[in-house]
Structures are given as C-alpha cells and as structure tokens.
Amino acid sequence: MWALLVDGAAWSRWDDGIAWVVFEGPPARGTYATIKPRRGRQTAYRVEIVEPPHRLVLGLTFGPLASLRLSWSVAAAADGSTIEQRVETGGPLASLLVRRIAERAAAAMAANLARLAALAEKEDAAG
C-alpha cells in the first residue's frame, strides 16, 4: 500500500479526482508533491511528514491565513494493512481559501481508500 501512496504515477489509478501527481524525487520532508486535480489547477504541496511505510502528510499553506493538510497512516493488521486518511484545515481564512478542496477530498475519501486497498491487493497478488 505504501508503494502506491508514494508513487505519483499511481495516484490517478486510485483517486478519481486526480489527473496526476509528481513528487520532486523520493518523498522526503521539505520536498514537494505537485498535484493536478482533474478539475482545477495544479498545486504544489509540501511534504511535511514522511515515515515509510507508515505515514505521509502533505501540506498546503497560504502564509498564516489558511492551511490544508492531507495525511495518510498505514498500519499493519492481522489480515494485511489498514489505511486511514485525514483532511484538516486551519487559519482565519481557511473557509475562503481551502474549504472547497477539503470538502472534495473528504467526500471522495472512502471511495478512494477502497480503490487504493483493492489496487494494493491486486498488485500484491500479482507478485
């Protein structure tokens, strides 16, 4: 599951709202992931936390005015792995600057995570 999460080329296979993602090299704290939604402009998110193979956090900030954080946590389970995603906003102008992005991400989260899990199972079974 982790390999798919940090492979920008794979994102459009499990996230229907994403056209493409490009990580600037291997994901590392302080690097960037540019995300191009199917509808909307490409945006560079800063990699805030990367703890392979357990946690990835991408952040988008507008100075002190607004922030958006997308985070994924992967944990071992008896029958494989579990994955959790969170969307967080903050700042006095978050409702104006990042609300729509957060709402779309939250609305699509369950379906995207189900596709990610299915894709990880398929790739694991293939070898």
pLDDT tens per residue, range 11-41: 999 999 999 999 999 999 999 999 999 988 9
User: Confidence class of residue 126 from pLDDT cuts 50, 70 and 90?
Assistant: confident
Given strand 32-37, what is the order of strands in its sheet? 18-23, 32-37, 43-51, 55-62, 66-77, 80-90
pTM for the predicted model, two decimal places: 0.94
The fold of 2-126 is Alpha-D-Glucose-1,6-Bisphosphate; Chain A, domain 4 (3.30.530)
Domain positions in the chain are 2-126
